[in-house]
Amino acid sequence: MEHYLDNAATTRVIEPAVQKAVEMMTTKYANPSAQHSKGAEAAAELKLAKKRVLTALGDENGQLTFTSGGTESINTAILGVCRKYGRQNKKVVSTTIEHAATLETLKHLSDDGFTVVLVEPDKSGNICSEKVVEESRDACLVSIMAVNNETGAILPIKDVKKGLKAAKSPALLHVDGVQAFLKTDEPLSRFGADLLSVSGHKIGSLKGAGALYYTKGLKIPPLLYGGGQEDGVRSGTEALPAIAAMGEVCAFRIPKIEEELLHLKRLNSYLRQQLLSSGLPIAINSPEDASPHILNISMPGAKSEVLMRVLQQNDVFVSSGSACSRGHRSHVLRAMNLDPKRIDSAIRISFCPENTTLDIDALCEGLQEGAKLFF
């Protein structure tokens, strides 16, 4: 039996999404811009998917542009806001623990003459909202993630929004919601972001679709020019199988969101308990109040790659740090000033609602086996 615990990297596609994608590929396959009735049938699916994702985000009146995934949404948001609203305040504030999709985009902006300020986390991986707000008085954009993909740390989005308002900052707030989408008590738009990026393949849908949400009235210039699809914000024929499947996952998960969150919380505390009573020299790198679907741990003195190999031999799949920055020492754990031994033995375990305690038992057995090679 396979024990896939790398869901922050990507998820298995759930059955309703598979069925929807197949329907879109084999029956409703027309171009949604086509003038005939099959085009209209596809366009109706596009509209339905948009409504479903907006509902899952908690704002049916918001604007939504489908993209190819989280990376494109983030690029469109950051570059778009800076182009449209950044003429006077050429400054962006973010954090050092963002995903590469944000950090690399900001590097590009910095080369273009923008001032980029990155706030550091504290030792437990948390970001202080006051520090973000303090830097944002003369910025055009604050871009921060809702949940960190390596540690699960929850960033104080609501406090940042409140602070920006109180400080009368001109900055718009973009939130990378990729790891938080469908994993929060309250829908993501209620946290106060002006723009939000999400991705389909982290929630049980296909790779190749994501979305950029922005509040009514905001105008975002496109990254891609062409046929003017998605109200001109994202040209190119829509990847409708992936888009409709993303909508389907939202419709499937929304009625069960409380139950799924509770399940993730139970899995997280079961894992913490099992680790605590294992006798293994485990250090937990995730904050105590992190998002329940991610737990980052270390066994100082061991090596992540070796532990991962042993786990893999036991059909258990986890990640060392972030799958997106393979081969590099985690910039997130480094920003937390963790001991190099702790960083080099770090493992990220990440759940989806379909995981069970059997997966955790297999993981713990594998860790016991792996530890024997070092201690």
Binding site for ligand PLP (CB under 6 A): 69-71, 99, 101, 145, 149, 176, 178-179, 199, 201, 210, 324
What's the closest the beta carbon of residue 326 comes to ligand PLP, in angstroms?
11
Give me 350's structure tokens: 């990440």
Reply yes or no on whether 324 is catalytic.
Answer: yes
What's the closest the beta carbon of residue 375 comes to ligand PLP, in angstroms?
32
Helix, strand, coil shares of the chain, percent, nearest 5, are 45, 15, 40
Neighbouring CB atoms inside 10 A of 368's CB total 13
Amino acid identity, residue 69?
A: G
Comparison of 169 and 179: residue with beta carbon closer to ligand PLP: 179
Comparison of 178 and 275: residue with beta carbon closer to ligand PLP: 178
Distance CA 175, CA 155 (A): 10
Amino acid identity, residue 231?
A: D
Q: Rounded to 5 degrees, what are φ and ψ at 36? A: -85, 180
What's the closest the beta carbon of residue 210 comes to ligand PLP, in angstroms?
5
Distance CA 362, CA 133 (A): 44
Comparison of 136 and 179: residue with beta carbon closer to ligand PLP: 179
Based on its alpha-carbon atoms, the radius of gyration of the chain, rounded to whole angstroms, reads 21
Distance CA 32, CA 287 (A): 45
What's the closest the beta carbon of residue 279 comes to ligand PLP, in angstroms?
32
Give me 95's structure tokens: 């954090």
Distance CA 26, CA 201 (A): 21
Burial class (CB in 10 A: 0-12, 13-18, 19+), 118: middle
* Residue of 128, 140, 250, 324 marked active site: 324
Distance CA 82, CA 133 (A): 18
Q: Rounded to 5 degrees, what are φ and ψ at 4? A: -90, 110
- In contact, 246 and 49? CB cutoff 8 Å: yes
Comparison of 136 and 199: residue with beta carbon closer to ligand PLP: 199
What's the closest the beta carbon of residue 147 comes to ligand PLP, in angstroms?
7
Comparison of 299 and 349: residue with beta carbon closer to ligand PLP: 349
Comparison of 62 and 210: residue with beta carbon closer to ligand PLP: 210
What's the closest the beta carbon of residue 177 comes to ligand PLP, in angstroms?
8
What residue is closest to ligand PLP based on CB?
70
The residues carrying an active-site annotation are: 324
